[in-house]
C-alpha cells in the first residue's frame, strides 16, 4: 500500500503542481530562476546491473552515498547510465524483441526509488539510456534496436513509453539522455549526398574507435524515435544526446551537426523527436584540447539556439587545467552546465571543483531546493 506521502506526491504530479526543470533560451530554469547545472557522472555502481531484476537493492546504499556527497559539495545534478547495451534491461525475447523493462518486474520501482533519492538530496537526475562508446553487444540487443525499426518499436512500446509514463512529472527528473557517445560505433569518412549522413568531416577524428558499425541514417532514426516517444508520453520532458566531441554536433569549424532538428526529423520522420539541449564531452589528446573543444571556445562561438552542457570532462584529460579551473571555465564562458567524469572513481578530485563554483550566480544559481 502506498504511503500518504507517496499518494500526495502522485496527486500533485497529476495536477501539474510539482515544479520541473525547464529551458529558457540558452539556459536552464527552475521555479523561474536561471540555474547552472553543476555536478558529475554517477555512471554506475555495478556496470549494467543497477536497475531491474531486483538489482537496485544491492547498490542503493552506495548510490546514496555518492548522491549525498555530491549534494554536500554544492552540486545540483548528475548523469547516470541505465540499459547500457541491454545486458540486464530491457527484457528481450529470443528474437531480440523487447517484451518488458526487466524479467522480474522491479525496474519501475527501482527507478522511482532512485528519483526519490535524488529529490531527497536536491539533485536533478539525467538518465542515459544506452552506451555506444564500447562494442560489447554480443547478444545484439542494442544493435537490433539501432538497425531494425521493428525491434526499436518494441522497445518504445514495451519499455520506454511505460517508463516515461511512470515517472512523468517527477521533480527530480532533470531530463533524458538517449545514448552516450554513439560516435564510437559510427562509420567515419563515409561520403553521401546528404550532409546529415555524410561523415567525411569525421575522417581521422577518432570517431569509430569502438568499431565501424553504424551509418547515421540508422543512428538518427534511433535517436529521433526515442526522443519522440519520450515527448509523446511527457511533452514537458527535456531530451539530449551525449556526443564524444562537438565535431558531430556543430555546424561551425567545418563540421556538421548531425543531431540538428532537420537531420533527426529527416532520418526518423517524427516531428517531435528533437533534442532540447546539446551535451558535449571533451578530453584532451596528448595534453591538448582540439580546436573544436568547448575549452577553446565560448558558448556563443557555436552559434546555436539552445543550451550547451559539458557532460564529460576530467582533470586527467584537462589540457593541464586543474578541476576547479575546468569548472570555472565552463561556468564563465556561457555554457549551461558541467558534469565531470566520474564521481565514483574520481569524486575525491572532482567534488572540490564542484564546491569551487557552488556560490557563483552570474551565469545562474547552483544550489536548489527540489519540491
Q: Which residues carry out catalysis?
A: 181, 312
Main-chain dihedrals φ then ψ at residue 356, nearest 5 degrees? -60, -35
| Distance from C-alpha of 227 to C-alpha of 221, rounded to nearest angstrom | 10
The single residue listed with the C-alpha cell 528474437 is 95
Residues 6+ apart with CB under 8 A from 8: none
Kindly provide the b/e burial profile for residues 122-138, where b requires at least 16 CB atoms within 10 angstroms of the residue's own CB.
bbbbbbbbbbbbebebe
Whether residue 69 contacts residue 351, with contact meaning beta carbons closer than 8 Å, is answered with yes
Amino acid at each position: 500500500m502506498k504511503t500518504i506521502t507517496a499518494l500526495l506526491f502522485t496527486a500533485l504530479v497529476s495536477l501539474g503542481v510539482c515544479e520541473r526543470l525547464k529551458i529558457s533560451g540558452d539556459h536552464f530554469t527552475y521555479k523561474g530562476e536561471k540555474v547552472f547545472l553543476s555536478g558529475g557522472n554517477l555512471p554506475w555502481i555495478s556496470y549494467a546491473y543497477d536497475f531491474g531484476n531486483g538489482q537496485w537493492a544491492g547498490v542503493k546504499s552506495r548510490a546514496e552515498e555518492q548522491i549525498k556527497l555530491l549534494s554536500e559539495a554544492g552540486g545540483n545534478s548528475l548523469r547516470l547510465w541505465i540499459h547500457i547495451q541491454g545486458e540486464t534491461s530491457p527484457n528481450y525475447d529470443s528474437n531480440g524483441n523487447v517484451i518488458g523493462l526487466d524479467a522480474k518486474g522491479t525496474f519501475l520501482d527501482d527507478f522511482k526509488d532512485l528519483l526519490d533519492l535524488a529529490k531527497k538530496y536536491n539533485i536533478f537526475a539525467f538518465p542515459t539510456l544506452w552506451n555506444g562508446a564500447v562494442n560489447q553487444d554480443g547478444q545484439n540487443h542494442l544493435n537490433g534496436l539501432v538497425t531494425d525499426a521493428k525491434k526499436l518499436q518494441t522497445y518504445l512500446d514495451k519499455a520506454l513509453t511505460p517508463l516515461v509514463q511512470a515517472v512523468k512529472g517527477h521533480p527530480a527528473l532533470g531530463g533524458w539522455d538517449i545514448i552516450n557517445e554513439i560516435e564510437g560505433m559510427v562509420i567515419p569518412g563515409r561520403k553521401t549526398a546528404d550532409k546529415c549522413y555524410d561523415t567525411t568531416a569525421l575522417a581521422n577524428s577518432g570517431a569509430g574507435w569502438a568499431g565501424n558499425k553504424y551509418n547515421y541514417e540508422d543512428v538518427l532514426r534511433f535517436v529521433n524515435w526515442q526522443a519522440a516517444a519520450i515527448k509523446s508520453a511527457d511533452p514537458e520532458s527535456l531530451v539530449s544526446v551525449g556526443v564524444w566531441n562537438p565535431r558531430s554536433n556543430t555546424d561551425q569549424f567545418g563540421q556538421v551537426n548531425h543531431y540538428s532538428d532537420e537531420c533527426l526529423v529527416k532520418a526518423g520522420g517524427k516531428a517531435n523527436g528533437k533534442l532540447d539541449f546539446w551535451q558535449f564531452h571533451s578530453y584532451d589528446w596528448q595534453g591538448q584540447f582540439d580546436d573544436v573543444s568547448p575549452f577553446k571556445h565560448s558558448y556563443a562561438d557555436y552559434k546555436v539556439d539552445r543550451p550547451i552542457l559539458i557532460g564529460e570532462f576530467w582533470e586527467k584529460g584537462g589540457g593541464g587545467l586543474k578541476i576547479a579551473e575546468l569548472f570555472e571555465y565552463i561556468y564563465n564562458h556561457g555554457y549551461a552546465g558541467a558534469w565531470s567524469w566520474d564521481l565514483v572513481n574520481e569524486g575525491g578530485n572532482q567534488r572540490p571543483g564542484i564546491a569551487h563554483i557552488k556560490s557563483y550566480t552570474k551565469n545562474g544559481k547552483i544550489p536548489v531546493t527540489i519540491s
